[in-house]
């Protein structure tokens, strides 16, 4: 996950080159006044910093005097940019945030002072303007750096070059960024997330440790709260680090390659509007000065500063080689652009007493004893340029269960080793390597590429020779887990994603290549565009963003593999049937209950649901190409009519086929009362296929298609399958009754004919796209503001054609009403009573 900075420096564009230097309004003190202020006017230095003070000297000297922490700040660093943030060292409750995690985004700050106070300002860093422009002063006036906190000056240093302030209460408080509680986001309400909060207990809080270094300070504070009616304590490590004097030259983002970005608004009189640009997040990888010419000639050189990740000693010794591999797999991508040993893994330094994994200078792979099945890779950046300052990967212990469950449910039919409850190191080790490599990719600036797996034909995933080279996807940054397509007898043994895929090499080239012939980001962009256009028709290099508000691109789906979701799902379901048939033999242990077997049965249902979800995206879907002028591609291509009809046929077929294998009597005999998984899935699918939002999406898709699949044709196809027996006058079974009942109920609800309390009641049924598409993930969903805006626009377009679907559904309801009325006289027994009840429901509610 990428942490987005909430602070928004005015970036100076000098001579056409973005220098990324913050330009500030004059500080309250202009220097001359300070020199005129006599130290003796304040309390004497020796009276404040007494002889018994514990001191750590560095960029800012820190002093602890009888429980009071003082900062002695040099005047020469006033106005210089710092990153200010806090991470959790230890916690008594890891429900929401774990040890090593940064709960809140870092702030970009600067210090200023006057005769009485020192001020901490947050720096506005989103506006970019050339100081030579006439509008520059106006841009400055509208981007003042606001005051975050002020502190009375206690005294001056003996030579008057530094000011001393008391930060005890501030560094030992629940104010941002020290707070251990994660700030709420707009996603919380959508996903039903309730964030932790607490009442701060100042009397139970104190500063424990402090260190000052040449470029940063580190302070550890124990903070205490009452949270959810219970005591809650944590130790927060607070860091301030001086940002580089000369920021890295930024590189503009491009929506055809997935990088996290720091967004900028560029003001210029050469443009008729404010230009929005993104600076990609990347490490500052440069050759040593003496190696520049070698690098230009294409020789491999070591970078001036390596990217180093330290591995937490808490990890078991047997895992460490795989963690190291996951980190250093990325060396292969950097070697392609001329850097050897660019990224390395190291153990925590054994003989360095000052080494602190929570120090912002150190990037670490951190273990967390947590029952959360998760891992994530956030990073801290210099927002002036997008330079990554530090990145860490957090591995929650219970992510092992996620890896094991995926390995079992997706590959156990072809690999007996995946059937073990506790996977051997031979099996689990590569899964750990994959997890780490994926998260390291995030800390290198890369976003998810959900289109990676679509690059490969489904049948190729059944080929031992193909998968031995390509794995399951063209990108490790995809959510393409393991090979669920391979069938028993295929002989496929490489069931995981590749160590790195073609897209990963391509993305690193885009972000990290030295472009010596370009002097400005604009000049770089012209060269980068040529690289992208060259590969625009090669599926291995395509990017697909992770969609949040409903997936619309069938080629960019989470947890999917292959270029045909329906074909892949058919193979996947074949494997699930084998697993279900053998579930007791493969999971039950002699003398133990069937709880593990029951949990694996739930995984079968979850995996099956993923397949249904993948196929449903074809309905009204469009392939997204992120086109630009010169690549001769359409921005979106509607899914063909034939493919949508195939998806409808597949989904309707599953409604009637799933009871044959998913409701296993053998399992029920041993597991006791089982949830009505089949009934819920049948209900969900039926509701989905009568959902006005889906029908509206199909209408939108039809408008942009040369071969449209109309809303009426879609509704007719669904109707003719669900009511086929009724139309023919045949007897119906329990599945037919359930599906017809849900179909009627869904139509009535879509037409606002049901009481509000019934519509809100989700117990009788739920929508597949909301309730069953639970994303198993290594991290929180990382998306950019631009992507969210795009997705919201798509949702708005869909709503415009929902109204059309209402009239179609009403017509459908009247057709069914007539059908039922004609069949009641000729039907008998339970079938007749079923039809009578449905007709009663329709007539009652239509009134």
**Which spans in 658-755 are helix H?**
659-662, 665-671, 677-689, 692-703, 711-722, 724-728, 734-750
- Cβ–Cβ < 8 Å for 142, 118: no
Q: How far apart are CA 617 and CA 718, in angstroms?
A: 16
- What pLDDT score does 775 carry? 37
- Cβ–Cβ < 8 Å for 330, 508: yes
- In the structure, what pLDDT confidence band is assigned to residue 184 with cuts at 50, 70 and 90? confident
- DSSP output for 343-410: EEEEEPPTT-TT--TTSTT-EEEEEE--S---EE--EEEETTTTEEEEE-EEEETTHHHHHHHHHHHH
- In the structure, what pLDDT confidence band is assigned to residue 799 with cuts at 50, 70 and 90? low
- What pLDDT score does 765 carry? 32
- What pLDDT score does 31 carry? 40
Which three-class secondary structure state does DSSP give residue 221?
A: strand
Paired sense of beta strands 117-122 and 107-113, if any? antiparallel
Structural domain span for residue 20: 11-235
Which three-class secondary structure state does DSSP give residue 42?
A: coil
Residue 774: is its pLDDT beyond 80?
A: no
For 125-150, how does the pLDDT look when each residue is reduced to its tens digit (9 = 90+)? Answer: 888 888 899 999 999 889 999 999 99
- Cβ–Cβ < 8 Å for 577, 814: no
- In the structure, what pLDDT confidence band is assigned to residue 788 with cuts at 50, 70 and 90? very low
- What pLDDT score does 802 carry? 60
- What pLDDT score does 191 carry? 59
Which three-class secondary structure state does DSSP give residue 488?
A: coil
Whether the CA torsion 90, 91, 92, 96 is positive or negative: it is negative
Q: What is the mean pLDDT of residues 1-11?
A: 40
Residue 35 resides in a domain: yes
- DSSP output for 6-32: S---PEEEETTEEEEEE--PPPS--SH
Q: How far apart are CA 179 and CA 168, in angstroms?
A: 15
829 or 31, which is more confident: 829
- Give the contacts of 513 (CB within 8 A, at least 6 positions apart): 337
For 295-332, how does the pLDDT look when each residue is reduced to its tens digit (9 = 90+)? Answer: 999 999 999 999 999 999 999 999 999 999 999 999 99
Residue 135: count of CB within 10 angstroms of its CB: 12
Sheet holding 375-376, edge to edge: 343-347, 307-311, 363-368, 393-396, 375-376
Please list the residues that pair with 126 across neighbouring strands.
Answer: none
For 198-217, how does the pLDDT look when each residue is reduced to its tens digit (9 = 90+)? Answer: 899 999 999 999 999 999 99
Residue 714 resides in a domain: no
415 CB-side CA count, 13 A: 24
Considering its fold, how many domains does the chain have in total? 1
Q: How far apart are CA 472 and CA 562, in angstroms?
A: 8
Q: Tokens 């608004």 label which residue? A: 265
Percent of the chain clearing pLDDT 90 (strictly above): 66
Two structure tokens written together for 96: 């929401």
Residue 667: is its pLDDT beyond 90?
A: no
- In the structure, what pLDDT confidence band is assigned to residue 20 with cuts at 50, 70 and 90? very low
- What pLDDT score does 32 carry? 38
Q: Would you give the distance in Å from CA 710 to the centre of its chain?
A: 35
- Cβ–Cβ < 8 Å for 345, 309: yes
- DSSP output for 257-286: S-B-EEEEEEE-TTSSSPEEEEEEPB----
- In the structure, what pLDDT confidence band is assigned to residue 606 with cuts at 50, 70 and 90? very high
Q: What is the mean pLDDT of residues 105-113?
A: 94
704 or 740, which is more confident: 740
Q: How far apart are CA 805 and CA 710, in angstroms?
A: 11
Please list the residues that pair with 376 across neighbouring strands.
Answer: 394
Phi-psi region of 206 (alpha: psi -120 to 50; beta: other; left: phi over 0): beta
Residue 182 resides in a domain: yes
Q: How far apart are CA 369 and CA 324, in angstroms?
A: 20
- Cβ–Cβ < 8 Å for 655, 685: yes
Q: What is the mean pLDDT of residues 162-187?
A: 88
Residue 774 resides in a domain: no
- What pLDDT score does 760 carry? 42
Residue 396: is its pLDDT beyond 60?
A: yes
Task: From residue 434, give the alpha-carbon distance in Å to each of 476, 480, 502.
Answer: 8, 11, 16
Residue 196: is its pLDDT beyond 90?
A: no
Q: What is the mean pLDDT of the chain?
A: 87
- Cβ–Cβ < 8 Å for 446, 259: yes
- The alpha carbons of the chain give a radius of gyration, in whole angstroms, of 31
Most confident listed range (47-56, 90-99, 178-187, 800-809): 47-56
Lowest mean pLDDT among 122-136, 563-577, 753-767: 753-767
For 399-428, how does the pLDDT look when each residue is reduced to its tens digit (9 = 90+)? Answer: 999 999 999 999 999 999 999 999 999 999
Q: What is the mean pLDDT of residues 147-174?
A: 96
Percent of the chain clearing pLDDT 70 (strictly above): 87
- What pLDDT score does 11 carry? 55
539 or 677, which is more confident: 539
Task: From residue 397, give the alpha-carbon distance in Å to each of 269, 370, 373, 436.
Answer: 54, 5, 7, 13
- What pLDDT score does 657 carry? 95
- What pLDDT score does 561 carry? 97
- What pLDDT score does 451 carry? 96
Lowest mean pLDDT among 662-671, 776-785, 838-847: 776-785
Residue 797: is its pLDDT beyond 80?
A: no
Please list the residues that pair with 107 across neighbouring strands.
Answer: 84
Residue 495 resides in a domain: no
Residue 61 resides in a domain: yes
- Give the contacts of 778 (CB within 8 A, at least 6 positions apart): 374, 375, 376, 399, 435, 438, 439
């Amino acid at each position: 996950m990428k942490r987005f900075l909430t602070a928004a420096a005015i970036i100076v564009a000098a001579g056409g080159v973005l220098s990324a230097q913050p330009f500030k309004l004059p500080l309250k003190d202009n220097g001359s006044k300070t020199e005129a202020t006599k130290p003796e006017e304040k309390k004497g230095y020796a009276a404040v910093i007494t002889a018994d003070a514990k001191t750590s000297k560095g960029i800012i000297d820190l002093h602890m005097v009888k429980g009071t922490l003082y900062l002695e700040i040099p005047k020469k660093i006033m106005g210089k940019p710092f990153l200010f943030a806090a991470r959790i060292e230890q916690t008594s409750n890891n429900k929401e945030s774990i040890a090593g995690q940064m709960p809140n985004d870092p702030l970009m700050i600067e210090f200023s002072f006057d005769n009485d106070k020192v001020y901490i300002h947050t720096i506005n860093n989103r506006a970019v303007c050339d100081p030579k422009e006439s509008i520059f002063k106006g841009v400055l006036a509208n981007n003042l750096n606001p005051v975050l906190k002020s502190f009375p000056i206690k005294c001056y240093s003996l030579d008057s070059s530094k000011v001393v302030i008391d930060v005890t209460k501030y560094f030992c408080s629940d104010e941002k960024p020290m707070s251990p509680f994660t700030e709420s986001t707009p996603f919380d309400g959508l996903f039903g997330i309730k964030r932790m909060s607490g009442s701060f207990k100042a009397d139970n809080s104190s500063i424990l440790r402090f260190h000052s270094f040449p470029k940063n300070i580190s302070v550890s504070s124990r903070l205490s709260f009452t949270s959810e009616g219970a005591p809650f304590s944590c130790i927060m490590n607070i860091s301030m680090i001086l940002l580089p004097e000369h920021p890295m030259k930024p590189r503009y983002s491009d929506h055809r390659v997935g990088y996290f970005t720091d967004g900028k608004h560029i003001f210029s009189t050469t443009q008729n509007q404010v230009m929005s640009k993104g600076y990609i997040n990347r490490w500052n990888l440069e050759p040593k000065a003496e190696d520049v010419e070698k690098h230009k000639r294409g020789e491999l050189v070591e970078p001036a500063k390596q990217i180093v990740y330290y591995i937490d000693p808490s990890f078991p010794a047997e895992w460490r080689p795989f963690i190291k591999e996951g980190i250093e797999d990325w060396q292969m991508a950097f070697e392609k652009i001329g850097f050897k040993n660019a990224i390395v893994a190291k153990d925590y330094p054994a003989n360095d007493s000052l080494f602190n994994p929570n120090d912002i200078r150190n990037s670490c792979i951190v273990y967390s004893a947590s029952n959360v099945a998760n891992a994530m890779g956030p990073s801290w950046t210099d927002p002036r340029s997008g330079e990554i300052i530090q990145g860490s990967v957090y591995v929650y212990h219970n992510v092992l269960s996620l890896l094991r469950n995926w390995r079992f449910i997706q590959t156990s039919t072809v690999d007996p080793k995946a059937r073990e409850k506790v996977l051997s190191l031979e099996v689990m080790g590569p899964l750990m390597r994959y997890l780490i490599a994926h998260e390291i990719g995030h800390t290198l600036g890369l976003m998810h590429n959900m289109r990676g797996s679509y690059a490969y034909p489904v049948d190729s995933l059944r080929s031992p020779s193909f998968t031995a080279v390509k794995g399951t996807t063209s990108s490790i940054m995809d959510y393409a887990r393991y090979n669920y397509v391979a069938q028993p007898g295929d002989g496929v043994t490489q069931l995981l994603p590749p160590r790195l895929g073609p897209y990963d090499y391509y993305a690193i080239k885009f972000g990290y290549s030295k472009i010596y012939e370009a002097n400005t980001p604009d000049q770089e962009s012209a060269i980068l565009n040529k690289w992208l256009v060259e590969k625009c028709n090669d599926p291995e290099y395509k990017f697909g963003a992770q969609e949040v508000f409903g997936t619309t691109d069938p080629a960019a789906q989470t947890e999917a593999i292959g270029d045909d979701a329906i074909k892949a799902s058919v193979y996947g379901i074949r494997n699930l049937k084998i697993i279900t048939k053998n579930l007791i033999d493969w999971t039950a242990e002699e003398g133990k209950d069937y709880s593990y077997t029951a949990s694996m049965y739930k995984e079968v249902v979850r995996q099956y649901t993923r397949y249904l979800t993948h196929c449903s995206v074809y309905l009204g879907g469009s392939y997204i190409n992120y086109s630009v002028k010169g690549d001769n591609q359409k921005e979106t291509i509607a899914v063909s009519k034939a493919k949508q009809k195939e998806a409808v046929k597949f989904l309707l077929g599953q409604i009637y086929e799933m009871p044959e294998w998913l409701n296993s009597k053998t399992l029920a005999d041993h597991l006791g009362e089982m949830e009505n998984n089949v009934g819920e899935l049948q209900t969900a699918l039926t509701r989905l296929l009568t959902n006005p939002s889906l029908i509206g999406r199909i209408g939108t898709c039809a408008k942009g298609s040369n071969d449209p699949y109309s809303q009426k044709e879609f509704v007719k196809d669904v109707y003719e399958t669900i009511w086929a027996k009724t139309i023919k006058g045949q007897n119906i079974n329990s599945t037919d009754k359930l599906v017809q009942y849900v179909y009627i109920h869904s139509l009535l609800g879509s037409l606002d004919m049901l009481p509000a309390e019934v519509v809100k009641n989700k117990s009788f049924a739920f929508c597949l796209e909301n309730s069953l598409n639970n994303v198993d993930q290594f991290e929180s969903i990382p998306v950019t503001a631009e992507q969210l805006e795009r997705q919201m626009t798509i949702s708005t377009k869909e709503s415009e054609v929902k109204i059309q679907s209402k009239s179609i559904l009403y017509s459908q309801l009247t057709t069914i009403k007539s059908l039922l009325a004609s069949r009641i006289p000729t039907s008998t027994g339970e079938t007749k009573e079923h039809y009578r009840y449905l007709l009663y429901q329709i007539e009652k509610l239509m009134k």
